[in-house]
Amino acid sequence: MLDFIGQALIYVVPFLLVLTLVVTIHELGHFWVARAFGVKVDRFSIGFGKGVLSRTDKHGIEWRLGWIPLGGYVKFSGDADPSSVPDSRGLEAMREEIAAHDGQGAEKDYFHFKPVWQRALIVAAGPFANFVLAVTIFTLLFSLIGAEIRPPRIVNVVPDSAAAEAGFQPGDLILRVNGRAVEDDVAVQRMVTLSAGDPLDFVVRRGEQDVALTATPRRVETQNPIAGPVRMGVLGVEMRPMPGEATHMRYPPHEAVWQGMKETWSVLETTVTYLGRIVTGRESGDQLSGPLGIAKASGALTNAAADVEASNGIRLANVLLTLISFAAILSIGIGFLNLLPIPVLDGGHLLFYGYEAVARRPLAANIQEMGYRVGLVLLVGLMLFATWNDLRKLSLFQFLGGLSS
Question: What string of H, E and C letters represents the secondary structure of 63-123?
Answer: EEEEEEEEEEEEEECCCCCCCCCCCHHHHHHHHHHHHHHHCCCHHHHCHHHCCHHHHHHHH
Report domain 148-249's class. Answer: mainly beta
Catalytic residue among 27, 263, 283, 356: 27
Chain centre distance of CA 355: 27
CATH 2.30.42.10 in the chain: give the residue spans. Answer: 148-249
* Cα dihedral sign, 76-81-85-88: negative
Dump pLDDT digits (tens) for 183-233: 888 889 889 988 888 999 999 999 889 999 999 999 887 766 555 667 788
Give the global pTM: 0.82
Catalytic (active site) residue 283: no
Confidence bin at 137 (pLDDT 50/70/90): very high
Q: Which of the two residues, 225 and 175, has the higher pLDDT score?
A: 175
Chain centre distance of CA 92: 38
Phi-psi region of 304 (alpha: psi -120 to 50; beta: other; left: phi over 0): alpha
Q: Which residues lie across from 173 on neighbouring strands? A: 153, 205
Dump pLDDT digits (tens) for 274-308: 778 777 777 766 666 655 555 555 555 555 545 55
